[in-house]
Each structure stands twice: as structure tokens, then as C-alpha cells.
Chain A
Amino acid sequence: MSAAKMHWPEIRFKVNGSERSVSVPPMKRLLDVLREDLELTGVKEGCGEGECGSCSVLLDGVLVNSCLVPALQASGCEVLTVEGLATNGALAHIQQKFLELGGTQCGICTPGMMLAAESLLKNNPKPDLDEIREGLAGNLCRCTGYMRIIDAVRHASQKPLLAEEQAEIDAVRR
């Protein structure tokens, strides 16, 4: 293993703000490079075929399934994983809202889901509910039925919370 590793070309890229370099087979999945070589295990594998979105990361700001991206393709790019969301131990806005509003249950889809939300809100800071649904449609969650996630994204957005729209997705009705 280690002898073979020496022959692989070095791939340099920026991960969560830090310059990193790895010597790995160029077709190794970015998912595996992040998890195995850089120990960023917040990136999850759910299906290995780009369906579930658990392995979502931002590659130069674009939401990708890291199970479908060969390491070579990340060369020279900036990668953002869930580990890069919080700054100096302070939760990012999106993390805070997922935590407070029930956006995470088992947690396995949460890293990818939050990155999908980040990507959505960067491109569309004031999405309506349908736009949030579309923006998250590539990330599967089996626990929540998506409602609390949509609520979290809505609260993390810059869109004013209209009472009638909020009433549609409120958690507590008694």
C-alpha cells in the first residue's frame, strides 16, 4: 500500500480554508479522499451512486456528490465540507437553525443537507417554500419528512417570515 502510494501524483486543493495535498490514485473518489486521507468523516456515504446526497460538498461553491467526483477533478479547487461550516467553534447560522428547529434527527443526511441549503441560499437568499423543496430535492432524508429541514432553511434565509406562510410549516399546533 504505502509503497504504491509514493507513485501517485500529488493533488493539491484547499479544504475548509486550508491548503491540503494528497497522493492518491487520481480516480479515487473525492468522498474517500476526504474521509480516509483527510479524516473528514462528517462527509457521509449513503448510496455511492449520487442519489442520496449524503456525501454532498461544495466544490468551488458548487454542490456536488463527492462519491461521483474523482480526486483529480478537485485539483486546485476549494472544497467545503460540514467541518468547515462552523467558525472558531461558533455554529454557522444554518447549523444553529437545524439544531433549534428539528432539522436533524438521525443526523446522517444532515451534513450534506446543510451544504445543499448553503448552496441554495447563496444562489437564492430569499427562496419561497417551493424553491427550498427544489433546492433540497437531491438530498434524501428518511427521518424528518423534510418539514423541519424546510423550516430550518427558511429561518436561515433572508426572506421575511410571513405569518401565513410560516403557519403552513409550524411544528406545534395544539
Chain B
Amino acid sequence: MRDTTQTHIVGTPALRKEGIGKVTGGARYIDDMALPGMWHGATVRSNIARGIIKDIRFGAGIAWDEFVIVTAKDIPGENCIPLIVDHDQPVLVESQVNHPEEPVVLLAHPDKARLHEAVAAVEINYEPLPAVFTIEESERQKTIVWGEDNVIKRFLVEKGDVDSAWQRAAHIVTGEYHTGAQEQLYIENNGVIADWSEADGLTIRGSMQCPYYIHKALLRVFDLPAEKVRVIQAETGGAFGGKEDYPSMIAAHAGLLSKKAGRPVKIIYDREEDLAATTKRHPSRTRYRTAVDGNGRLLAMDIQVDLDGGAYATVTPTVLSRATIHAAGPYCCENIRIRSHAWATNLPPHGAFRGFGSPQTIFGIERHMDQIAKAAGISPEEVRRRNFLAPGKTTATGQEIRDVIDLPGMLDRALKVSDYEAKHLRFARENATSSPIKRGIGVASFMHGAGFTGSGERYLNSLVGLEADATGHVTVLVSSTEFGQGTNTMLSQVAAEALGLSCEDISVAQPDTQRVPNSGPTVASRTTMIVGRLVQDAAHALADILRGKNLLGEIFSVTEFRAACAAYTERFGALRAEVRYQAPKDIFWDDVAYKGEAYPAFAWAIYVAEVAVDTRTYSTQVVNFYALQEVGRVINPLLATGQIEGGVAQGIGYALYEKVVWKNGRMSNNQMTNYIMPTAVDVPNIEVYFEEMPCEHGPCGAKGLGELPHDGPAPAILNAIQNATGINFTSIPLLPEDMYLRMAETPEPDAKETAGCV
């Protein structure tokens, strides 16, 4: 392995590659583009949760002959968006509606302003069917809305012997925890432009995370060969998982309109449509039953994980997988059973959102650890310290920890930088006075697996390319997308480091399926570790090509590299290296038993939240936040810090602000006015700390970090609220009205539960 400690560009705060366009307003997002002769498209959606369409009427007062109208009958290929479960989610409803806001009819018109009233004038009549809206209704299985039993996916993880452990327990602690749906709330709404031509097929430009997911979907919907579908990512204004799968749907819609209209068609969702119709984080219920010995050590964990998948499978099986694997937390326990189910309901399908199932179960386990601490009569930090995973120990799936991780040391550092001990004592003292403001401090410790789960990366089989022109300028060819998280900059730094160049010598090609190979989807904290490593390998392969022609020495200068590129391209033509993913040989995963190495590497973190609860208004302010994580080598400390801070802010929203209000399966607060995300005033100072232990799988020792920061804030904050108020709140989001209702039930906290008395 190359020396990963001596680097000249990796580890520096290199300027964001596409930053100039973003600060000048020159960056072109999809709604900033227009094609000649382009029309605008809109979607007519179901307004009931479940039922059979009896008829569709096009109401009076609209010049329908000016519109292009598309229904399921116009689909040339298969009426489905293929993802994990085939033939599940249709592009357009043919007869049975399975959730509110399901697409039924598409309209296009040259004047965008005319579409609104036209959509409203389409009347769909239904024969309603019974619907289910919650996990509880779905698991009762009285009304079957998906498959034979409403179960989209189930997993069972078993380690050791859970059942015989209870009799040895000094304490048995049980708990049930709930998390709500959460909207990704990228500030740029979804949108695409489709351009159909008989000669070239279908070209899609749009806001997206995964160009090749859209490519795959459109081949089936339009029954086209691969070369007749082209997908190009426009500058993308935030995604967070929310643009992982739904853009395939919008691309199919715009494509159908474009094909029928014989001209380009643009579909841009407004905020209300984007909020009501597209995916959100899966609501969850987790149940923990844990056996603990007299020293607070975990003897057994019996865990139930239940997710609300919504009406179609989409990415739910893999979200449930990640939720399941992360449910036991970063703790060592010899006896673990995790039973998990994803239940179908008649809500719009829930989908990917940063963390992808792990924020849900980490909320459960990290709230539960504080209850174990209380039962065992030790502090929350001490119960964690006594149970941490360590090198040589195994996770719930039996994965041996090979990272040289020191969680007790990280905990010490997090407590020190947050001045935890002193604050804990001071808050206990102050809270005992009559002040209406109660302060608290809480901890969460957690890990997050980088890359696709289990054998996922093998199936993805990612390919990356690197090209150099005659001047020695290098272009990175990947389908990995930039949507704010820093892909372009990070990959440029990796390539520049490997070739001894500067970032200015590197470009990252615009993701375009006609130009870039499939380096996999931009999800799962995989871009830095997996794709970054492939780019590093491709850079070495590029240099080897030059060495193979005796144009470059083992060690070379920038000038020598440029001269070699010039000589090569003159004599041999295009200079290009490609590298395909190869699974590490010592990684074993059993998809059936759900055992083995779930991830090549984990990122580890200890977060500390400090809160002030106003007992008059029931509002909670996060006053300070400390985020310490081990993410392998940090490629760009400025961008990495920004990622952590942004994830923490989203986690604060998840805990305290962001509530999706459902009414008969439809989001009823689908506006930014009443779905509230944190503002600059709501987010406290966030102190970000990194520990860097080089990881053998990533470029220069880097691991993934994108999702990690969303996992820990919510439990840390609710642990702090319990420290402040003495009340064990078990559901998020915890808005003032929720806190009021809970406190009205039990107005006086148990004296023993009050902060500082443990």
C-alpha cells in the first residue's frame, strides 16, 4: 500500500471545483434551461389513498385540443419503474390507485401558466377501497394492500442465544421508540427536461443523484436499447437521498409527453407537489428488550424494527437492511436477535434520505442506552463505555471489527471538548431552582457503514475512467454526481494527489451516460471510499500506461507527466484508463443468514448535545453541539466539516422541528410555511472534530462520512432533554405541543429521574 500519510493535496481545504458558478449565479440548474420549442408538463394525481379508477373526465372550459394528454395506454414498454422489486410501482396508474398523489394523467402545453387549471379540470372517479395508513394497521393484516401479507421485506439477524440470557440478567430493560417521516427538503425542487427524437431516442436532463438508475428505468418504460437513452445531470440543488429514485418517475413522465408532443417537455415540480408526492424518510417503530448484568453490561438484546414503507417497495428493502444492521449500535453483545419488517401502507412510497434507515434505529438504541444506564444506576456515558465495540469484537452480524478504533478514547475526548462533566453538575444544580429554563446535556455514540450493504458493491460492479489530453489535463469520468456534498472537489483532490498534479489540472466530466461509465449511484456514503478509491487506482493505471510505453519514470514531475501525455497522444491516440471495482478478498457476506462483513468499513462518532427547555412554552433550543467522528483520512477538511454541520442541522430538524402531518395518507402540511426546517437562528454553534485513522479500503485512507452526521443528533438531543426534564420522551419529532401533551400526562417527573440525581 502506498504511504497515505504524506499528501500534498489530500487533507487540504481545496476550493470547491464548481464554486465559481455557484457564487456568481452562472451555475445552470434544470429550471434555468430551455430547449427550442419546449413545452411544459404537469401531472394529474390521485386524490384518494386506494381505489379503482372508474372513469376520467376532462372538464369543460379548457381547450383540450391545445394539450398533449398522456395516460398509461401511451407507454410503449413496461408500465413500471424497476428498482429492487420488479413490476411494483407503475409509471402511471392503469386501474388501481394505491396512494394519494399517485400519477394518473400527464398534460403538456406550451404555456406553463395554463397547466394549473387544466390539471384541476381533470376529474377522476373512483370506487374506493379500504386503506391502511400506519405500521399498526398494516401489521394487523386485516386489509392486505401489498403482496400476500403487507410485508415488503423482512430480516432476521441472530447472534448467540438470546432466549437463555434473561435468567442471568440483573436488569431487564424494555423500551419502544418512534420516529416520524422526514422530508429531504432540498431547496431545489425536482425537475427534468425530456427531449425525444425518433433518430436518437430519449435524452433526459435533470436534477438527480443517479443517472444510471434513470437510464435503466427508461430502457424498460420506452422499450429502447441502451444507446437510445441518454441521461445528463444538470447542476443539482440538494438531494440528500430525495433524488435517488423519484427522478426516474419524473423522467419517464416527461419522456412520455415529449414523445407524444414531438418536442422537448420540461416538468418542474412546485414545492407543494414536491412535498406531497415525492419520497420521505420511513417512519419507524423500534422495540428493545435488553438483559443487563449488575455492572451494566449487555447480556442480550431482542430488537424489533418496523418501518412504514408506503405503497410500493422502491428502495425500502435496502433501507430496512441498513436499519436492521445498525439497530444494535456500536456495542458488543454476545446474544442479539433483530427481527425487522417493512410494512406496506397507502402512503406515497417512503424512500432514501441521508442515513437510510440508520437514524431510525440509532434513535431507538441510543435512547434505550440511557434507560439501561438509569436501570443499572450508572451514568449514560459509563454504560456506553462498558459496552463499546472494540477491535476483535463482533457486531450483530458477526463482523469482526478490524478498524483500530478506540471508542472509550473518543468518548473521553467528546466529553472533554464539550465540558460535559462540569455542565452536567451545573445544570443539575440550576435545574433544582425555580428557573423555568431547564438545561440538559446528552450523548449519543454510533457507527455508520460505508458503501452498499453486504454483497451490494459486488453487484454494482462500478467502473470509472480517467482521461488525459495532450496537455496533461486529466478528466475524471464517473456517474457519481455533485449535489453539494463535494464529489467534484474530493475526486479532483484524489486524482491530483495520485498523479502529483494540482486540482486545476483535473476536471470532473458532467455526468452524462453517453460519456461516463457507470460508477454506481451517488448514495450510501460510498462515493469517497469506493469511487474515490477507483479514481485513485485509475490514476495509477494511467501513469502505468505511460510507463508501459517508456514515457514516464517511476517518480515523475508535472512537466514530465505533461510531456508524456503529449508524446502518448501523438503516437497512440486517446489516453484513457479504466478501473473496475474488485471486492476485497477477505470480506464475506451471507445474504441468506444475514451474517458476515456488512460493510468494508464503519465511520464512528460520539455526539454531545446541550439543550435548554423552556417549561413555559415547551420549546427546546439546542444551545451547543459537539460532533466528534472517526472517518478515516479527511480528504478536504473544509468540505468535510460542512457535511457534518449540515447533517447535524438536519438531525436537529428531525428531532425538534420537522413534522409531516398525514391526513388519509396525504401530507397535509405540504408547504414550507408549515413544514418547518431549522433556520440560522435555530442551529447552534456546531463544533466538529475529526479523528483520522487511515482505512485500507478508501483513497489515501478515507472512509465515507455523508450520512453519519444525521444518525446521532436526534438521540443526543432527546437524551439531553431527559437530562433537563427527567422525562423519557420516546418519539420524534418532539415539537412543543408534543412535549406539552406528554408533560400534561405526567406533570411531575419522578424525583429519581431528575437531572443530576443518577
Q: A interface vs B, CB < 8 Å?
A: 1, 35, 40-49, 51-52, 54, 81-83, 85-86, 91, 95-96, 98-111, 114, 129, 132-134, 136-150, 168-169, 171-174
Count A/B pairs, Cβ under 8 Å.
Answer: 191
B320 to chain A, nearest CB (A): 25
Is the Cβ of B649 less than 8 Å from the Cβ of A145?
yes
Is the Cβ of A42 less than 8 Å from the Cβ of B187?
no
Find chain B residues with CB under 8 A from A172 CB.
Answer: 13, 637-638, 641
Is the Cβ of B671 less than 8 Å from the Cβ of A40?
no
Q: Please list the 6 inter-chain residue pairs (A to B) with the smallest Cβ-Cβ separation, ordered nearest first.
A: A42-B25, A106-B484, A108-B237, A107-B22, A145-B649, A145-B645
B589 to chain A, nearest CB (A): 33
Is the Cβ of B22 less than 8 Å from the Cβ of A140?
no
Find chain A residues with CB under 8 A from B25 CB.
Answer: 40-43, 81-83, 111
Is the Cβ of B29 less than 8 Å from the Cβ of A171?
no
Find chain A residues with CB under 8 A from B435 CB.
Answer: none
Q: In the complex the two chains form, what is the Cα distance from A163 to B642 in whole Å?
A: 21
A113 to chain B, nearest CB (A): 9
Find chain B residues with CB under 8 A from A138 CB.
Answer: 679
A24 to chain B, nearest CB (A): 12
Is the Cβ of A46 less than 8 Å from the Cβ of B680?
no
Enumerate B1-24 residues with CB–CB distance to A below 8 Å.
Answer: 13, 15-16, 18-24
* A105 to chain B: closest residue by CB: B484
Known contacts A44-B29, A45-B31, A102-B641, A107 near B235 by CB under 8 Å: yes
Is the Cβ of A108 less than 8 Å from the Cβ of B672?
no
A147 to chain B, nearest CB (A): 5
B416 to chain A, nearest CB (A): 12
Can you identify 18 A-B contacts, CB atoms within 8 angstroms? A1-B110, A1-B111, A46-B187, A47-B671, A47-B672, A48-B271, A51-B673, A95-B24, A99-B15, A107-B23, A136-B679, A137-B681, A142-B184, A142-B240, A144-B649, A172-B638, A173-B688, A174-B637
Is the Cβ of A171 less than 8 Å from the Cβ of B24?
no
Is the Cβ of B638 less than 8 Å from the Cβ of A51?
no
User: B186 at interface (Cβ–Cβ under 8 A)?
Assistant: yes
Known contacts A82-B24, A110-B23, A148 near B645 by CB under 8 Å: yes
Find chain B residues with CB under 8 A from A133 CB.
Answer: 680-681
B510 to chain A, nearest CB (A): 15
A82 to chain B, nearest CB (A): 4
In the complex, per-residue mask of B447-475: 1 if CB is within 8 Å of any chain A CB, else 0 = 00000000000000000000000000000
Find chain B residues with CB under 8 A from A169 CB.
Answer: 685
Find chain B residues with CB under 8 A from A114 CB.
Answer: 23
By CB atoms of chain B within 10 A, which of A83, A106, A168 has the most?
Answer: A106
CB contact between B642 and one of A43, A102, A129, A140 (< 8 Å): that residue: A102
Q: In the complex the two chains form, what is the Cα distance from A95 to B22 in whole Å?
A: 9
Is the Cβ of B185 less than 8 Å from the Cβ of A142?
yes
By CB atoms of chain B within 10 A, which of A44, A81, A101 has the most?
Answer: A44
CB contact between B23 and one of A40, A99, A142 (< 8 Å): that residue: A99
Q: In the complex the two chains form, what is the Cα distance from A168 to B690 in whole Å?
A: 16
Is the Cβ of A171 less than 8 Å from the Cβ of B637?
yes
CB contact between A104 and one of B19, B239, B637, B672 (< 8 Å): that residue: B19
Known contacts A146-B680, A150-B680, A105 near B486 by CB under 8 Å: yes
Find chain B residues with CB under 8 A from A140 CB.
Answer: 187, 672, 677, 679
Is the Cβ of A147 less than 8 Å from the Cβ of B238?
no
* A149 to chain B: closest residue by CB: B680
User: B284 at interface (Cβ–Cβ under 8 A)?
Assistant: no
Residues of A contacting B: mostly: loop
Is the Cβ of A143 less than 8 Å from the Cβ of B642?
yes
Residues of B contacting A: mostly: loop
Enumerate B685-699 residues with CB–CB distance to A below 8 Å.
Answer: 685-690, 692
Find chain B residues with CB under 8 A from A52 CB.
Answer: 187, 672
Find chain B residues with CB under 8 A from A43 CB.
Answer: 25
CB contact between A143 and one of B637, B646, B681 (< 8 Å): that residue: B646
Known contacts A42-B26, A108-B237, A144 near B687 by CB under 8 Å: no
Is the Cβ of B681 less than 8 Å from the Cβ of A107?
no
Is the Cβ of B19 less than 8 Å from the Cβ of A106?
no
Find chain A residues with CB under 8 A from B650 CB.
Answer: 142, 145
Is the Cβ of B20 less than 8 Å from the Cβ of A99?
yes
B236 to chain A, nearest CB (A): 7
User: B639 at interface (Cβ–Cβ under 8 A)?
Assistant: yes
Is the Cβ of B642 less than 8 Å from the Cβ of A42?
no
- Sample of 11 further A-B pairs with CB below 8 A, known A91-B20, A147-B683: A44-B187, A45-B31, A51-B671, A99-B20, A101-B638, A104-B19, A108-B29, A134-B680, A136-B679, A140-B672, A173-B688
Find chain A residues with CB under 8 A from B16 CB.
Answer: 99, 102, 104
Find chain A residues with CB under 8 A from B29 CB.
Answer: 41, 44, 108
Q: In the complex the two chains form, what is the Cα distance from A140 to B690 in whole Å?
A: 27
Find chain B residues with CB under 8 A from A137 CB.
Answer: 679-681
Is the Cβ of A142 less than 8 Å from the Cβ of B677?
yes
* B651 to chain A: closest residue by CB: A145
Q: In the complex the two chains form, what is the Cα distance from A108 to B637 in whole Å?
A: 22
Known contacts A102-B639, A105-B486, A141 near B187 by CB under 8 Å: yes
Find chain B residues with CB under 8 A from A40 CB.
Answer: 25
Find chain B residues with CB under 8 A from A139 CB.
Answer: 680
A84 to chain B, nearest CB (A): 9
By CB atoms of chain A within 10 A, which of B484, B637, B673 has the most?
Answer: B484
Is the Cβ of A47 less than 8 Å from the Cβ of B235?
no
Is the Cβ of B24 less than 8 Å from the Cβ of A48?
no
Find chain B residues with CB under 8 A from A143 CB.
Answer: 238, 484-485, 642, 646
Q: In the complex the two chains form, what is the Cα distance from A106 to B236 in whole Å?
A: 7
Q: In the complex the two chains form, what is the Cα distance from A157 to B687 in whole Å?
A: 22
Q: In the complex the two chains form, what is the Cα distance from A109 to B25 in whole Å?
A: 10
Is the Cβ of A106 less than 8 Å from the Cβ of B13?
no
User: B731 at interface (Cβ–Cβ under 8 A)?
Assistant: no
Q: In the complex the two chains form, what is the Cα distance from A43 to B671 in whole Å?
A: 20
Q: In the complex the two chains form, what is the Cα distance from A169 to B685 in whole Å?
A: 7
Is the Cβ of A145 less than 8 Å from the Cβ of B686?
yes
B246 to chain A, nearest CB (A): 17
Q: In the complex the two chains form, what is the Cα distance from A114 to B687 in whole Å?
A: 24
By CB atoms of chain A within 10 A, which of B18, B26, B110 has the most?
Answer: B26
By CB atoms of chain B within 10 A, which of A35, A43, A100 has the most?
Answer: A100
Q: In the complex the two chains form, what is the Cα distance from A148 to B171 in whole Å?
A: 46
User: B541 at interface (Cβ–Cβ under 8 A)?
Assistant: no
CB contact between A105 and one of B32, B271, B642, B673 (< 8 Å): that residue: B642
Q: In the complex the two chains form, what is the Cα distance from A149 to B32 in whole Å?
A: 24
User: B742 at interface (Cβ–Cβ under 8 A)?
Assistant: no
Enumerate B150-200 residues with CB–CB distance to A below 8 Å.
Answer: 184-189
User: B568 at interface (Cβ–Cβ under 8 A)?
Assistant: no
Is the Cβ of B672 less than 8 Å from the Cβ of A49?
yes
Find chain A residues with CB under 8 A from B646 CB.
Answer: 105, 142-145
User: B661 at interface (Cβ–Cβ under 8 A)?
Assistant: no
Is the Cβ of A144 less than 8 Å from the Cβ of B689?
no
* A152 to chain B: closest residue by CB: B23
* B18 to chain A: closest residue by CB: A107
